[in-house]
């Protein structure tokens, strides 16, 4: 069987559906290939919190400021053209979703970035993964219905297996499904299959030697097919080592009640994170994205977060579905003791070393010498707190990957680039497949949803203009 279309979007998540829906609006014909067969297939785009932001700023922020924020958060890793493309289209992308029927509301307190959240809310209220009927689930239904209404098609159970390359240009894709193999010739191919967090071989190649102790916080739908096939066709890959991550209970590796919440990074940022020798090994003050990436590459990836009662009552109650009281309620391990020696024994840590680590932490806070600690501890983003009074706590933690941040190098028109910086004709990328926008040495997180919609829109618009 063969098809001939203007645009094929590979992946029925937010990026692919946006690209196809926008192409249809612009008068092109379009179809979506989705590897999963079920109508409510699981992807990051269905199981998320629906918070549309740009680097923890409202999408309505002045675009010039947003572009600077993106470059700053990524420590200069995001190139100015890509930062500008995302920043100048962010508010428009949300308005476009509203025009598709999406309903946005604010979460209180909005803290300057939760003012455009897909309704109905509810995703952030439990430790377990529940998504049915919440805003993100509803949005996918709206986009799919719009595509079908306007004459497009969604081919489910069809997994792209090849890119059709002729004279160095992409001319379509080959997909395999229950009814066999299909060739789809297309004037534009948009790779939107969601990154590679569901592919252990690629994670091992780019991210960590031990992906088995990296908790997958989302769905395994991102298999890296688009990135892998485009690389074979000459595409350049950028920032492949970074992922959007959090620090979660190590029990989440075998207890699904502890995923996607709570996060342990705020407790780590108040107290200390230690290895099996009760030594600090990273800068806890850099926050969850940086810390989870560093943990993923460290020894066997499983560590302990240690804190005291004041931190448990403060940082422990911060953010969505916080650890206090949800960690224990959901079955997570929390060691508690009235002295550090007993705590060390309960957590399987060397007593003297834990006392030394806590004493050094307290002394550095008191003397203002956090930068002299080994490793140095920053305080600008998250202020460390002294261990003041018992009880003391320790909880085993692991790194959790929500999705990969690296991927295909693109230009501001979402065109996939070769190593020499020239575009591969007719090949585009959007969403978690795109590299060069998030990550970098400080693992700057910009926002997966806004990246998916903006580059989905841009891919369709660039291809329509051509
Ligand atoms: C728990 C969680 C919470 C989140 N919360 C937020 C949030 O509040 N704010 C925010 O900005 N971001 C959030 N994100 C991130 C955001 O959801 C993602 O960045 C975004 O949805 C990615 O969209 P995508 O279309 O690129 O990929 P996906 O949604 O992963 O879609 C890719 C699709 O491609 C399909 N596919 C894979 N391989 C193939 C193939 N070979 N052929 C055909 N189809 C294929 C997959 O089945 C999948 O349906 C969250 C993610 C998770 C997991």
Taking residues 102-116, what's their average pLDDT? 94
- As a whole number of angstroms, the distance between CA 201 and CA 212 comes to 11
- As a whole number of angstroms, the distance between CA 305 and CA 312 comes to 11
Instruction: Give the 3-state secondary structure of residue 282.
Output: coil
Expressed in angstroms and rounded, the spacing between residue 446 Cα and the centre of ligand 1 is 15
Residue 218 CA: nearest ligand 1 atom is 53
pLDDT, tens only, 168-182:
999 999 999 998 999
Taking residues 292-303, what's their average pLDDT? 91
pLDDT of residue 179: 87
pLDDT, tens only, 372-426:
999 999 988 899 999 999 999 999 999 999 999 999 999 999 999 999 999 999 9
Is the pTM here over 0.95, yes or no? yes
Nearest to 94 by CA among 25, 14, 177, 211: 14
pLDDT category at 302 given cuts 50, 70, 90 is confident
15 CB under 6 A from ligand 1? yes
Nearest to 427 by CA among 113, 163, 109: 163
Show the domains of the chain with their CATH numbers: 2-241+405-465 (3.50.50.60), 243-401 (3.90.700.10)
pLDDT, tens only, 190-236:
999 999 999 999 999 999 999 998 999 999 999 999 999 999 999 99
- As a whole number of angstroms, the distance between CA 77 and CA 86 comes to 14
N- to C-terminal Cα separation, the chain:
27
224 CB under 6 A from ligand 1? no
Residue 449 CA: nearest ligand 1 atom is 11
Check: CB of residue 287 under 8 Å from CB of residue 296: no
pLDDT of residue 1: 67
pLDDT category at 340 given cuts 50, 70, 90 is very high
159 CB under 6 A from ligand 1? yes
């Amino acid at each position: 069987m063969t098809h001939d279309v203007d645009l094929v979007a590979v992946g029925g998540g937010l990026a692919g559906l946006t690209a196809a829906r926008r192409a249809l609006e612009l008068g092109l014909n379009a179809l979506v290939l989705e590897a999963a067969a079920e109508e409510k297939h699981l992807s990051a785009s269905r199981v998320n919190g629906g918070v549309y932001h740009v680097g923890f700023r409202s999408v309505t922020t002045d675009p010039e400021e947003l572009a600077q924020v993106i470059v700053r958060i990524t420590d200069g890793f995001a190139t100015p053209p890509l930062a500008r493309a995302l920043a100048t289209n962010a508010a428009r992308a949300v308005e476009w979703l509203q025009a598709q029927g999406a309903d946005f509301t604010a979460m209180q307190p909005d803290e300057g970035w939760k003012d455009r959240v897909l309704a109905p809310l509810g995703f952030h209220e439990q430790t377990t993964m529940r998504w049915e009927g919440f805003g993100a689930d509803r949005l996918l239904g709206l986009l799919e219905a719009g595509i079908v209404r306007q004459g497009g098609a969604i081919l489910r159970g069809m997994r792209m297996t090849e890119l059709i390359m002729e004279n160095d240009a992409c001319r379509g894709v080959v997909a395999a499904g229950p009814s066999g193999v299909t060739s789809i010739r297309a004037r534009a191919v948009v790779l939107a299959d969601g990154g590679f967090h569901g592919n252990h071989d690629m994670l091992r190649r780019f991210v960590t030697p031990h992906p088995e102790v990296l908790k997958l916080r989302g769905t395994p739908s991102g298999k890296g097919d688009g990135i892998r096939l485009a690389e074979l066709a000459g595409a350049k890959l950028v920032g492949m080592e970074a992922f959007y991550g959090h620090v979660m209970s190590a029990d989440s590796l075998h207890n699904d009640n502890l995923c996607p919440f709570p996060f342990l990074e705020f407790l780590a940022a108040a107290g200390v994170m230690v290895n099996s020798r009760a030594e600090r090994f990273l800068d806890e003050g850099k926050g969850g994205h940086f810390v989870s990436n560093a943990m993923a590459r460290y020894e066997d990836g499983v560590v302990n977060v240690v804190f005291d009662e004041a931190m448990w009552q403060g940082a422990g109650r911060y953010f969505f579905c916080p650890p206090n009281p949800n960690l224990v309620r959901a079955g997570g391990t929390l060691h508690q003791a009235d002295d550090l020696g007993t705590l060390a024994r309960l957590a399987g840590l060397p007593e003297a070393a834990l006392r030394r680590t806590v004493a050094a932490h307290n002394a550095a806070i008191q003397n203002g010498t956090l930068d002299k600690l080994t490793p140095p501890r920053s305080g600008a983003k998250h202020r460390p707190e002294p261990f003041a009074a018992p009880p003391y706590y320790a909880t085993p933690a692991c790194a959790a990957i929500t999705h990969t941040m690296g991927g295909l190098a693109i230009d501001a028109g979402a065109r996939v680039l070769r190593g020499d910086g020239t575009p591969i004709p007719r090949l585009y990328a959007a969403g978690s497949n795109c590299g060069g926008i998030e990550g970098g040495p400080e693992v700057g997180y910009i926002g997966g949803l806004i990246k998916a919609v903006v580059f989905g829109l841009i891919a369709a618009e660039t291809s329509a203009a051509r």
